[in-house]
Structure 1
Amino acid sequence: MVRAKNRYLVFIVDHQKSGSLEGKVTSNDVFQTLRRGLEAYFGVVGLGQTQWALAPETSLALIRCARDEAAPVHAALTLTSKVSSANGGSVLVRMRVVLSSGTLKAPMQELYKRTKAYYSSRMGSTPRITNVLTKTSLNATAGACLKAVTEIEP
């Protein structure tokens, strides 16, 4: 029997206002939008073969999908243009895939690098802040994405 091969996609949710997605739409709102898009474009099977996690503060996300479904998932992300929130509002978005990989090493490095850049630009890059970020925020963001994606094995 051949083992299931996965692809990991790191993407950024760019939206119409500057800052983070936090407070505007929740990760559940983004999830529901992606879910509807995947189901509309690729059916229930395409929907069932993906797991994902979003860090709303940094607008970074990680998706794990079957290798054969990577192109359709990438297309569904690209075709998504609006996220509706639970409170009735909506935010115009652009989802950009910045990395696609067959292993978790490169996506985790990319999440780490982009999270570090996000916090450094907001707080300044003093050695103390960089050290604190390395130990807490960066590992928490990357770790949360990793845990959410790898928690449920297909």
Structure 2
Amino acid sequence: MLTIEEIRELIKIVDESSLDEFTYETNGAKVKMKKDTQYHEGYTIYQPVQTDEKTQEQMSVETMPVQSDSKQTETGESSKKETTSDYDHEIVSPMVGTFYAAPNPESDPYVKVGSEVQSESIVCIVEAMKLFNEIEAEVTGEVVEIMVEDGELVEYGQPLFRVKTT
């Protein structure tokens, strides 16, 4: 079975290459990635589900779209958020998934601009393959910018927050 880190590395390699489709099989696991460039870029990862010792079914685990950093508006201006030079640390996504600012839709967000965080403070959740992963600040300081919107798909290594450390 492939580890999450191995899958992430494969995604990174394929994303940086000119390949449109890639399939990899090892030890009973199969990873198939295909860039759908007609509508959006994305990957579908398949992992086997053991039904009994003699048969296996392939099940689609997750389709992960790849988003660009900025979008063009009708006026041709970039909609990417303004960057602030008043920070010295970025909290980045450790995985591909969906960003959630709060533990549930009825709750207040974990942090807002101006919030003080400690290294073990939870700043958001990134959902990947139906698992909700709490992301910690890993530094002590003040949140000066939130770089993504609630419910937005994020990529591995994508900046989520900018923090001015203390």
- The normalised TM-score by structure 2 is 0.23
Asked which structure has the greater RCO (Cα within 8 Å, sep 6+), the reply is: 1
**More strand by percentage:** 2
**More helix by percentage:** 1
**Bigger CA radius of gyration:** 2
